[in-house]
Amino acid sequence: MMQCDIKKLVLIVAVMGLPGCAAYRTSSNIESANQAVAPSKRIAIYEGSADPGKKFKTTQRIEVSIKKLTLFHSDPTKDQANMELEKRATALGCDAVTNVQYQTGIGLTTWGYIDAQGNCAKFD
């Protein structure tokens, strides 16, 4: 009986470790921007009400979500969220992301997440 319980425990631990190398999953509200796009130029990220100091036009709202897949990985960071915002903004031809706000937590389908949203902006 005890040997059966040990086998079950080993099986459970093994299955929890199977998600592979992928530690995080990203998602976005921009479907066409979900392709891996490396930023060709540095996109400025302005958190909260920080002023870019230049005139700009807001084109659309962008949102990203970084989710940690297992309990054993570290929590997603603002840097990871900013990197995804940069990729989305680059794909949309923007110069900056303004009014960026972050939210973190634990969800029903993830061990932890950080959501970031902001306005895609083009400088005049």
Mean pLDDT of 101-114: 92
Backbone angles phi, psi at 21, to 5 degrees: -75, -25
pLDDT digits over 58-105, tens only? 999 999 999 998 889 999 999 999 999 999 999 999 999 999 999 999
For 91: left if phi > 0, alpha if psi spans -120 to 50, otherwise beta; the answer is alpha
SS3 per residue for the chain:
CHHHHHHHHHHHHHHHCCCCCCCEEEEECCHHHHCCCCCCCCCEEEECCCCCCCCEEEEEEEEEEEEECCCCCCCCCHHHHHHHHHHHHHHCCCCEEEEEEEEEECCCCCCEEEEEEEEEEEEC
* Distance of alpha carbon 31 from alpha carbon 52, whole angstroms: 27
Give the global pTM.
Answer: 0.69
Share of the chain above pLDDT 90, in %: 52
pLDDT, position 124: 87
Number of alpha carbons in the 13 Å side-chain half-sphere of residue 63: 5
* Structural domains present in the chain: 23-123 (3.30.110.70)
pLDDT of residue 108: 87
